[in-house]
Amino acid sequence: MSTAGEHIKITIDRDWVVSLKDKLKETEQEDWRTEQPTIFRVLPNLRGIEPEAYEPAIVSLGPFHHHKSHLKAMDHLKWQYLNKFLVRNPEKPLEDYLKLIKENERQARMAYSENVEMSSKDFVQMMLLDCCFVIEAILPEGEGQATIWSLPPVVARDMLILENQLPFCLLQPLFDSTFPDQSHDLNSLILCFLRKAIIITTEDPSVEKSFHHTLHLFYSCILPANDRDGSESSTFLCHNLSCMQNVLHMPFWLSSWLHKLSCCSRDDQEETNMLLGWIPSATRLTEAGVHIRKKKKAKSFLDITFRDGKMEIPQLQVDDHTNILLRNLIAFEQCCREASPHVTSYAGLIDCIIDTAADVALLQQSKIIISGMGNGEEVATLFNRLCKEVLIDDLESSYFSRIYKEVNKHYDARCNKWRARLNHDYFSNPWAIVSVAAAIFLFVLTTTQTIYTLLSYVQPTK
């Protein structure tokens, strides 16, 4: 034991010091990121619900799924497409394209939310092959995609996976170098390719806006018109909702569950429904006199409107691809700061409207839902699970806040609530209708007999 004033000799392992210095150098090198990422890993809470929805099926694009064995079968086709791409502009040798990607490598790496652990040569080669594959795949028939004529739906599906994106900072200059006369437009070709494979209405993109990647381009084309130019959407939810959601991170399923457990008075019910992001199901709304019908001239599947007791919903083809697309759009909104939660809000609204298979049947009858799935129960389950584990931080920018407010105002009107209860309790099935009709008939007969009996006393027969 050392005494006071004695100095203790401490030795530091030299290898340890060297390793720490190396780590500090690595940290200094990480400061290369000067821009926010635009291509993200899906959040673990979302991936845990349905992992396969965020995995490419046949082709990897970019580094996140590059090394997966089940996607290697397309590598040979990528080399074939690179050959086709190089032939299109014989004046530009392979070296020119490699230099082009090398010049933009730093910006491309910054597009990904994780540090890409690949050498510069491997990264540049991967990006050249993947970008050329996409360019050749989206060209009109007869110009490029003959080899994958049977695969566009699956390729289009993979092109809309959040983790499977290519940064346009590489794709656009490669495309422009191949078509210098601007005989083709990259954005239009991509959307045309996607529309052939995915039956969803979209608007044409804004020519003044730049896009990060294919999913961002598609996302921008389904947004409300006032959001495509970057302006903020109008809001109708009160500030308390934003505060509550920001503190609690309340998902839609919890909002609906809390509503079902709530026991507030009728005067407070409308405000509570709006705050919790809840409206009644399609069958309940119909019972309350709401007319639900297909919107004929919809700009996108988000274009839902409610006016004068009429709710118009754009037609949506529901299948496995729809499920995957909606999940990746929601994941994009959850990760990207500049994205408003419109698709998330849409999923929450449809989750409310579709509660059971009976609601699905009603929407199918109105030709709002065209189902490619087994039965109505599967469709209901699909929408009921879309918002599970989804965090809602900014509902004040919700595109559907007006609908929540007006639908609940209509539904909570006293006459409509009485009508809904009457329809639900007495006209919900044919036997109930027969029973009510029989009761009314007996009541009329009894009343008539009573009147005649009273008249016979007042005016006896002469």
pLDDT of amino acid 415: 58
pLDDT of amino acid 372: 84
Does residue 386 carry a pLDDT above 80?
yes
Query: Cα 212 from chain centroid?
Result: 17
Q: Residue 198: count other Cβ atoms within 10 Å of its Cβ.
A: 21
Which residue has better confidence, 185 or 251? 185
pLDDT of amino acid 264: 42
Q: Give 238's contacts (C-beta < 8 A, 6+ positions apart).
A: 275
The residue whose two tokens read 């209860």 is 421
* pTM assigned to the model: 0.77
Q: Calculate mean pLDDT across residues 126-144.
A: 88
Does residue 26 carry a pLDDT above 70?
no
pLDDT of amino acid 30: 53
Q: Give 248's contacts (C-beta < 8 A, 6+ positions apart).
A: none
Interatomic CA distance for residues 149 and 79, integer angstroms: 17
Poorest-pLDDT segment among 60-74, 254-268, 355-369: 254-268
Q: Is 374 exposed, middle or buried (0-12, 13-18, 19+ CB in 10 A)?
A: exposed
pLDDT of amino acid 250: 44
444 pLDDT band (50/70/90 cuts)?
A: confident
pLDDT of amino acid 460: 60
